[in-house]
Amino acid sequence: MKLKNILKERAKGISFEFFPPRSAEGKDSFMKVVNTLKRYNPLYVSVTYGASGSTQDRTKNTLTWIKDATDLTVMSHLTCIGATKTSMDVLLRDYINLGIENILALRGDPPRNMPDFDPSIGEFRYAKDLVEFIKKYNYFSIAVAVYPEGHPESPSIEKDMEYTKEKIDAGADFAITQMFFDNRYYYDFIERAEKRGIKIPILPGIMPITDFKKIKEFASFCKATIPKDIEEKMVPLINKQDEMFKLGIEHATKQCADLINNGIEYLHFYTMNKSEAFSTIIDGLGLPSVLT
């Protein structure tokens, strides 16, 4: 089902983001995680797409596993950097044949392990170009990524909002935010977006800090600030994984509770293909009755 319609029908709900397992051998453990989280009746589950199409087949296969084994609504992430219109057309036709109706349209980043990668070989410059391209098929519901603290390459937060508005106006039905660890960034973004006349749902992206070192590295690459007080509590726990996990869950639970108390009724969880943290957060919030 198209997410555009699901979001109209359901005023609240959660979603889960996964990445494709490295090999087909990972299918069973991956599907176990999906099946565990399925009980929260998510709006959709999404599967990421590796830089410059490096996981194209794996993303497609993973979406197919989920579709075949469950009744969950799926969404494919799709990046366009380095892609040609012909290659994109082949993939989108494949998606139509497979009944994959929802796409998170992204520019993507040059692959980090390919320093010689030349993005100019591609025929898409920005995510907006991909949104326009996908829109022409008149088949897909389209989402885009947005950045509460601004995209790392943006010259200013104002310019970033200007480009965000253009990208949404090109045909996005909803947006998902980059992870953030202080809700004030999200509230500020929503206020600025509303002032710009952006009216689509903007789902907050929640990433619990269950592995501080890893998430700190990722967060600085994405320009997502980890608040000082959280960092100070996390650093002494670097070698105390259980305590760190507990603290990370506590912080994410507080974040979600605050969002819900402020009337935000959709939450997007970055799962990293693990279920435990999310079951704890959702159960802790009593979400089955609040949001699902």
**Quick one: how far is CA 76 from the chain centroid?**
10
Task: Give the C-alpha distances (Å, rounded to integers) separating 206 from 67, 95, 285.
Answer: 24, 27, 14
Active-site residue flag, 276: no
CA dihedral sign, ordered 157, 160, 165, 168? negative
Q: Show Cβ contacts of residue 16 under 8 Å, excluding neighbours closer than 6 positions.
A: 34, 37, 42, 45, 46, 268, 269, 271, 278
| 153 or 194: CB nearest ligand FAD | 153
* Least Cβ distance, residue 109 to ligand FAD (angstroms): 5
* Least Cβ distance, residue 128 to ligand FAD (angstroms): 6
| 14 or 127: CB nearest ligand FAD | 127
SS3 (DSSP) at 46: strand
| 6 or 104: CB nearest ligand FAD | 104
| 143 or 244: CB nearest ligand FAD | 143
Active-site choice (9, 17, 166, 232): 17
In the chain, alpha helices (H): 3-9, 27-38, 56-69, 85-98, 127-135, 157-169, 183-195, 212-222, 228-234, 241-261, 276-285, 287-290
d(CA 24, CA 27): 5
In the complex, the residues that contact ligand FAD under the rule CB under 6 A are: 48-49, 51, 77, 79, 104, 106-109, 126-128, 145, 151, 153-154, 160, 163, 167, 176, 178, 205
Give, in degrees to the nearest 5, the angle at Cα 70 between 64 and 20. Answer: 40
* Most distant pair of Cα atoms in the chain: their distance: 52
* Least Cβ distance, residue 178 to ligand FAD (angstroms): 4
Query: Residue 252, Cβ neighbours under 10 Å: how many?
Result: 24
| 16 or 245: CB nearest ligand FAD | 16
Helix count (H) and strand count (E) of the chain?
A: 12, 8
* Least Cβ distance, residue 108 to ligand FAD (angstroms): 4
* Least Cβ distance, residue 167 to ligand FAD (angstroms): 5
* Least Cβ distance, residue 92 to ligand FAD (angstroms): 16
| 223 or 254: CB nearest ligand FAD | 223
Residues tagged active-site: 17
